[in-house]
Amino acid sequence: MSLPLFLAELAGVVVGGTATVTGDEARHAVAVKRIQVGEHVLLSDGAGRTVTGEVVTAGKQELVVRVDQVEDAPPPALEFVAVQALAKGERSELAVEMLTEVGVRRILAWQAARSIVRWQGDRAAKSLAKWQSTAREAMKQSRRTFLPEVTAAGTKDVAELLAAVDLALVLHEDATEHIAAVDLPEEGRVAVVVGPEGGISPEELETFRQAGARTVLISDGVLRTSTAGAVAVGQLEALARRPR
């Protein structure tokens, strides 16, 4: 049976000592998940460190765990970054959820020219916070040890990122190369750009190409913006695991 996972600050924890979950996370553990003294849980700091232990105090303000085991997962050789265009309704949240589940380390919420949704004023901060919350919950549900960084980005920010990574791919229905033909680096950062419902504009595409990106197909059909990124990263993960 999988242990429930909660986020906590784990710097300096040692076997035999204690780790404490505080704030909203503690309230969620006790009031929603009904965690009680004597149960075993899994804690993560979102940066690769995990702790397994028994709950010794279960209050609404804090959950105290006696540490039985501490593990530090090394970062993966390939770090996937997703540039996800803003989408309407729940599609954005579904995209963030799936990208987190497949192990993406960073997600850029991209305000594309053809995005129907516009992040402006107070809505921008609230929407970004919702993406970040979605990533946290998906990380816990999927038992990931790394919490993806989620930030807002414009086209200029995306181009700068694409120029800095080791491999930059733009998912595009007019591409002639399939993602399966991509020669992945053995290590480094790989960025995947997913456009909005209306597609990536010619000007954006040219900007990304000038930054060093290449266009690729991931299917013989057209996938929704909410699922395309996760499908692409899943295919790249499979390619990375093939014998060299």
Percentage of the chain beyond pLDDT 70 is 99
Categorize the per-residue pLDDT at 45 as very low, low, confident or very high, splitting at 50, 70 and 90.
very high
Render pLDDT for 213-225 as a digit per residue (tens, 0 to 9): 999 999 887 789 9
Look at residues 194, 187, 198, 186 and name the one whose alpha carbon lies nearest to residue 169: 194
Least confident of 11-20, 92-101, 216-225: 216-225
Q: What is the pLDDT of residues 137-152, one digit of tens each?
A: 999 999 999 999 999 9
Q: What is the predicted pLDDT for the residue at 2?
A: 82
Scored b (16 or more CB within 10 A) or e, 149-173 reads: ebebbebeebbebbeebebbbbbbe
What domains can you pick out in the chain, each with its CATH number? 5-72 (2.40.240.20), 78-240 (3.40.1280.10)
pLDDT band at 99 (very low <50, low <70, confident <90, very high): very high
Rounded to the nearest integer, the mean pLDDT of the chain is: 93
